Structure formats: C-alpha cells, structure tokens
Amino acid sequence: DMAIVGTIPEAHGEDIIAIGRYYLNPRTNLAEVAFIVRDEWQNQGIGTFLLKYLITIAKRNGIAGFTAEVLRDNMAMQAVLEKSGCEIRSHLEDRVYSFELDFA
C-alpha cells in the first residue's frame, strides 16, 4: 500500500491540498487507486500528476495495474484516468464506472 500527499507552504508549516493512495490486492496483483484534491486546487493538473506518480511507484513495486470506481457524473476523474497513458477497460453498472488500468 502507498500514500502520497500534495502540500503548499503555510505560515506555520504545510497545508495538505491533495492525497493519493493505492491498496494492493495480492490475489490479483492489481491495486485500487483513489485520490482527492481540495476543491480550490482542482482543474490544475494535480490529480493527473498524483495518478502518474502513483503509477511510477506501483510499476517499481511490480504491480500489474490499477482499479478504480468512479461515479458516472464525475467527468473530471474519468478524464484523469483516461490521460494515464495506460490501456484502460471500463464498464458501467448502477451509475458507477469500474476502471482497470493495465501497466503492461
């Protein structure tokens, strides 16, 4: 499992503006990826950066790919996943897309 954070400097230290994580399923060698970016920092490429950085780390750790569950209405997250550079498979069920990103 892995977690990374995005921070900005503040008067008394740093403020977290984004978090990205993955959780490995050892049976499939796929990891579920998730991240969040504070509203005022969205649409600035932070989510895309987090995903690409997590992919780099996961590949180094021998992980085969990522999975993600995304609400149908979350077009921004869908766009981030589609910009990953990975082969992507997805299907929609009950207003939730299930994505699988293959690192091969």
Give the domain CATH number at 51: 3.40.630.30
Q: What is the pLDDT along the chain (104 residues), one digit of tens a residue?
A: 999 999 999 999 999 999 999 999 999 999 999 999 999 999 999 999 999 999 999 999 999 999 999 999 999 999 999 999 999 999 999 999 999 999 98
CB 37 within 8 A of CB 87: no
What would the two tokens of residue 30 be?
């796929």
How many structural domains is the chain composed of?
Answer: 1
CA of 87: how far to CAs of 22, 30, 50, 78, 90, in Å?
18, 14, 18, 14, 10
Q: How far apart are CA 31 and CA 3, in angstroms?
A: 12
- Tell the burial category of 84 from Cβ atoms under 10 Å away from its Cβ (0-12, 13-18, 19+): buried
Which residues form the domain of 94? Answer: 2-102
